[in-house]
Amino acid sequence: MTETGLDGDAAAYLAVLRRQAQPPLHTLTPALARQRHEATASAVPGIPRPVERVEDAVLAGIPVRWYRPAGARGLVVFIHGGGWVTGTLDSYDRLCRDLAAGAGCSLVSLGYGLAPELRLPAQVDQVVAACRALAAAGEGAPVLAGDSAGGYLALAAALRLGGGGMAFRGLALLYPVVDAALDTPSAQSRATGFRLETETMRWYWRHFLGDAPAPARPAPAALAGLPPCLVLTAGFDPLCDEGLALAADLKAAGVPVVDRHYPGQIHGFLRLGHVMAATAPALDAVCAFLALPGG
């Protein structure tokens, strides 16, 4: 692995992970991977950011968690990461609190079904159903926000719903998964040692797809007409280059893009504010986008 340019806090965090010497996630069963994911999230120290009202509910048959700060304006639909195999409403609770409180928006986090029990396109179908239910309830045009694998679901749902005439204020794609090929320079140069590993990403895709062929990356022409997009990328992330390429394709399609690249950071750093000073200003940038009237 090459560490030149790696943020100091990120380097210290990765050193801790190396000392723990846990087996790579892709060597585990989905059940064990989920246990590790939840244990890691629950071990984060400190008190979660307060939000005036936090309520669990069911929306279009999907478990959801609503975050409603005092004086909230606007709506964010949040789709968690975890490679479609791991991740829950609980493990992304802190990030959702940070986003809702920081943006001053109501936020609904979707507890979509995980792979391999459910596979593509089931998760996209669930996101679409939830967005349609919110629209039917008169909630107004949301920002659709996705973290990592959730970014893939957010983009896929927006493309499907946009064709049906549903309006969004924007898309916020946080170090998104875009392409199953995993053949970019960053997927090779950042393949191991930087938290998310390329082989783990392949493992996620296999569980997500099953025997189905990998979906084609969206062509630039298919992206035309999308609302303003925030694309956040991290330089020490195997997914970095596919995120940067997506931002370029969106711009080529005429979509307004807010491009936030953090060259010294690793995948998932928005959830590592307890150990990384760079997390807070990056969260501020995301929240500023979520709060914009047009995105």
Q: Give the residue numbers marked as catalytic.
A: 148, 237, 267
Distance, CA of 227 to CA of 282 (rounded, Å): 21
The tally of CA atoms less than 13 A away on the side-chain side of residue 104 is: 7
Q: Which sign does the torsion angle of CA 274, 280, 286, 292 carry?
A: positive
Collect all residues with Cβ–Cβ distance below 8 Å to 241 and sequence separation of at least 6. Answer: 184, 185, 186, 187
**Complete DSSP assignment for 201-226:** HHHHHHHHHTTSPPPPPPPHHHHTT-
- Residue 260: how many CB atoms within 10 A of its CB? 17
- Backbone Cα Rg of the chain: 18
Distance, CA of 68 to CA of 187 (rounded, Å): 38
Write phi, then psi, for 113 (nearest 5 degrees): -70, 145
Write phi, then psi, for 114 (nearest 5 degrees): -95, 155
Distance, CA of 227 to CA of 247 (rounded, Å): 13
Tokens standing for residue 123: 């998760």
Write phi, then psi, for 80 (nearest 5 degrees): -75, 165
DSSP 34: H
Q: Which sign does the torsion angle of CA 34, 37, 43, 45 carry?
A: negative
